[in-house]
Structure 1
């Protein structure tokens, strides 16, 4: 039996943001117009997600899944020991990754926009910050994919499929809803 976890907005946001990042990365030095539009799309998606994180469905709300630093460190320690709990929604490590990805992508979109303004056109520090954030995003995306694959193996469920269908395996007694 499966339960609904990820609503359509969360799934469209996730894959839309992923597509925006890939398009922006591929077009960084070649197609300025498409690169800019991918950045605008990412910024718009993030703004919508911030609203949805406050008013959306149960598992989409930030209050449901964002934990403090000590809970996150404790969960990462449990991962290292191979005894982490299964969460129906986002686990604390996934929640921390979401926050880092949203912040880095927002910073990247903001610095990209700044670079298009008259005041900051040609500004070395804006360009370097934008590139640093873009490279950091790539590292975060790779960590995110690795974490998803690790959790999928450890908890015997296909998390990629769940972000497509919106459904996950029902919670067992030891799982955290």
Structure 2
């Protein structure tokens, strides 16, 4: 039996539970929700500023923030005792396939926390984010050999593709379970059995994560070099010279 699952494979735990027997319970604590939406904002911002020279510092800042968020999420996935704990939701590829195929049936398997397919996507997303940020740092500090200069961009493109797959999965899951999964990540509430809700929301830790991110952004902003009038003139002169060429 899969813990936290309701549906046909719950028969080993007594009578199967239908979706109608479930009630809203608190599933996602504040650290998970703050991590999720900060990661969404940082990835979107980093993607949109990737080709901008003027916003290069913003791109770097958001990328490094993503790296810090991934480090926190891995640590929280090891220390937490609720639905955020990796051991409580990461399952085998076979379980993920069983869940995906159940979506085609009349009674898709319902998981109070992450479903097995979503869990694999989350692990892959965390790994790809870490790889993308690491390659970006190596590129920025010129620590990569020449033939790996494009590695950061390739990793970012792979990450975007996986994000799209994840969003499709969220949309399909929301429709099949008649449950707004993005809203659940905002409110922390999902349908489940009364005993499956979390007892502590760790609001102080969620606030600390947000404060650390905002503090890092402020530090980056204040430590950024300020362009002088002479620098602007030199840049303008370079552009004029390029035009003459």
Common fold: TM-score over 0.5: yes
Which of residues 168, 175, 194 is equivalent to 1:153? 175
Unpaired runs of 5+ residues, structure 2, are 1-22, 195-245
Distance 2:31 2:99 in 1: 27
Task: Tell me the residue number matched to 1:35.
Answer: 59
Task: Tell me the residue number matched to 1:170.
Answer: 192
Asked whether the equivalents of residues 7 and 57 of structure 1 are also in contact (C-alpha less than 8 Å), the reply is no
Which of residues 39, 48, 72 is equivalent to 1:48? 72
Q: 1:9-158 to 2 correspondence within 5 Å?
A: 9-30=31-52, 31-81=55-105, 83-120=107-144, 123-125=146-148, 127-158=149-180
Q: Secondary structure at the match of 2:150?
A: helix
The two structures have a TM-score, normalised by structure 1, of: 0.90
Unpaired runs of 5+ residues, structure 1, are 173-177
Structure number with greater Rg is: 2
Using the TM superposition, give the Cα deviation of residue 101 of structure 1 relative to its aligned residue in structure 2, in angstroms.
0.6
> Alignment RMSD, CA only?
1.9
Task: Tell me the residue number matched to 2:230.
Answer: none
Distance 1:91 1:110 in 2: 28
Q: Secondary structure at the match of 1:77?
A: helix
Q: Secondary structure at the match of 1:60?
A: coil
Provide runs of 4+ in structure 1 moved above 3 Å: 80-83
Taking a change above 3 Å as real, the CA distance of residues 105 and 71 of structure 1, as seen in their structure-2 partners, is: same
Equivalences, count: 171
Distance 1:119 1:169 in 2: 48
Taking a change above 3 Å as real, the CA distance of residues 57 and 11 of structure 1, as seen in their structure-2 partners, is: farther
The two structures have a TM-score, normalised by structure 2, of: 0.66
